[in-house]
Structure 1
Amino acid sequence: MSTVFEKIISGEWAGRFCWAEDSCVVFATIAPTAPGHMLVVPREPWAKWTDLPAEVAARLFEVARIIGSVQETVFDVPRSGLVIAGFEVPHTHLHVIPLRSEADVSLANATPASDEALDDTTARLRTALVEAGFGEFIPPEMNVCPPTSR
């Protein structure tokens, strides 16, 4: 059985991508706790983050750090937060959330966002990531996840 994230990565289901590389992708969550809330997801479907190989875990956290740093500028927030829960989808994912307050980090406060809002926040992050020198990781199209180079 495929997870929802495998379906998004494969293109079977829609996604809004701001990052793609061989080990992971980053896309918008459809129910953010704050504008710009992104998910860092390994391409392989490890159910628990504690099962990740060390090199994959390290790369996910590095990508999350980059995304969080750019979120702080794009969304003019004092910090970005990181949450790993994993009960809703059995495929490891890191929530990277622009934070204005502690309430923004609570996944219980997630609400569905409009397509327009998701498009806007993802486009803003993509532009800022290119400007920050990470253009090689930005997919050519926001709604298409490129395959791995392997």
Structure 2
Amino acid sequence: MPTIFTKIINGEIPCHKIAETEDFLAFLDVFPCAPGHTLVIPKKEVDYIFDLSDEMYAGLMAFAKSIEPAIRQAVPCKRVGVAVIGLEVPHAHVHLIPLNSMADMNFGAKITMTQEELTEVANKIKALL
């Protein structure tokens, strides 16, 4: 059965898309740790990030790195943190989270954002790419 991320890739579930290439997709997390929390995924459905081929793994990280400056400018922060948890969705993914303190990367204390707020943040990030 396809993961929720595969359904997003296939357009079956909408997302707040940030960027896309032939192999990768970046979109806002709808249950963010902080405004601008972005998920970066390979389009190929692979459960565990370390099961990606070396080429796909390097490409995923390079794609995430290319998006980081736009996130940092759109959502004022000290840094953009990177996390790979891999338990919540069985599809390899990287979290890019704007950080002003260590508390901003608390996966147990997600914030609530409206669809309008998510759209506004996504548009700010995309405009800076």
TM range (shorter): over 0.9
Tell me the percent identity: 33
Report what 1:95 is aligned to. 95
Q: Distance in 2 between matches of 1:66 and 1:19?
A: 10
Report what 2:125 is aligned to. 125
How do residues 9-88 of structure 1 correspond to structure 2 at under 5 angstroms?
9-88=9-88
Are the aligned partners of 1:68 and 1:97 in contact in 2 as well (CA < 8 Å)? Answer: no
Cα deviation digits, residues 72-107 of structure 1 (max 9, x gap): 122121100001011110000100011111111121
Superposed displacement of residue 71, structure 1: 1.5
Give TM-score, length-normalised by structure 1: 0.83
Runs of 4+ in 1 over 2 A off after TM superposition: none
Superposed displacement of residue 8, structure 1: 0.7
Are the aligned partners of 1:24 and 1:42 in contact in 2 as well (CA < 8 Å)? Answer: yes
Superposed displacement of residue 111, structure 1: 2.8
Superposed displacement of residue 35, structure 1: 0.6
Q: Distance in 2 between matches of 1:2 and 1:111?
A: 27
Are the aligned partners of 2:70 and 2:126 in contact in 1 as well (CA < 8 Å)? Answer: no
Gaps of 5+ in 2: none
Q: Distance in 2 between matches of 1:125 and 1:85?
A: 23
Give TM-score, length-normalised by structure 2: 0.95
CA RMSD of aligned residues (A): 1.0
Gaps of 5+ in 1: 130-150
Q: Per the alignment, in what secondary structure is the counterpart of residue 59 of structure 2?
A: helix
| Count of residue correspondences | 129
Superposed displacement of residue 122, structure 1: 0.4
Superposed displacement of residue 37, structure 1: 0.6
